[in-house]
Structure 1
């Protein structure tokens, strides 16, 4: 009975995604993407119409493709799996925050919280949350690309042959678990620091419950990152913020692009690591991974990574014994 209630709650949560500003599919973010797509359509087409714009936004060849259908299925199945299996195993933010604030007190002693200018305090904590979230996203994304057995799980996301806003939810449950733990750690560290420096009454600037910086990131085209619509911010802005076009470059089938533009909102992490690629330097683009790496079925999207990890481990063990 409890399992049925859990699954029902998860499905209800999915239905509410368009009305939750903490979800990428929130209606406001979708509308923001449509507004940003309009000049791309207007400048790229000689004959323009409302019907033509809708066909430009939602081409059947993309949204009815087998790859897109896998995305839709993964959105639902992963939501159910996460609720039933992963949530009880994830780290939680509270113990991390208490450990951080307690550790700081042990190292530096108790200090008088900074409370003089509440507007500055709230702004500082809001920025701290955003920076920790964005940087840890970049770090985990980097690890998923660089550690071979983790790449097998992240490869599920890159196996999309077309991209829609639903592709953000195309991930293996193992990767979902890692990102859930990452979020708890990032928020826990930020809250622990905030508690130590600013006291127990922590607040952030938000819009409809979402961090204001995250809200702005999502309004300004986050849903175009996984799409066929090429929107670049220009070379100067792309030094600081990852544009939708830059993320599409990251999904390129070309291996020289695979480990580039790993950042989420900010481009500074890639710029410091030398992995930033500007949209203006890419002439043509094909999305996906090579056929020998592709997952061909919904079941394969779940099972193939485990098979590949097994084969990799078996090969490594064999090499160790051959050297002995």
Structure 2
């Protein structure tokens, strides 16, 4: 099969012909129709995970996927050949990624059915970003009438966070800089915006002198955002690994570790099918243009970048 992979550390990822994977016990094989780009993929390609995760060469890149089940491993129940699915590759090693024509994935975590009303392109953009968003909003414990600052609102995770926070009844302040970024987040429901290239906390406090009820931290320096939070508020972060990294007696700091359980993925799929949330796709690329997609991702995006695989 055709897949974007590298044969050794330091090699540039490119399209290779690799063996079609066979599903192990508890796995299904998915014929991939689309896969989205995440920061994790760039980190693997750059060798940043050397020594942190096992590499099984050739390492096929890619975490998110959407496609159709085409083979069933031993012991699998609840899925059949032909099922439309999406999710996140959750294996403990690097090698079996989704930037290829096929991927094998365990059914226990990282896999769910994709409703027919949700396209493969949209489904491919939901898994990792959507999971992080759901877990972050849940960690913030938002309530109707509260005010929340979303730092990193213009990215794939942030787009979902803004919409989920609005649905909770909270008033959303989103970080933006350009006109198109502002237009996007306000179209998703953000009531206010602040410029992330200026002092974000100062801008927030100018409009909300007592501070906001919650901060959802997806980008930027956590310490500079903490002053925007009221006493007793919650600071949910996908970038802070431990509360010790952001010491404070005035608020609760909650690290967010995105876990793509079936329940979470089902929730994402239902929200998308019901149009409670939408996915912003900035651009799509064929498989042989993953390098360009990586460069565009590194330059900054408004929404998600998706690889389509015929």
TM-score, normalised to structure 1, is 0.23
Using CA pairs below 8 Å that are at least 6 residues apart, which structure has the higher relative contact order?
1
Which has more strand, going by share of residues?
2
Which has more helix, going by share of residues?
1
Larger radius of gyration: 1
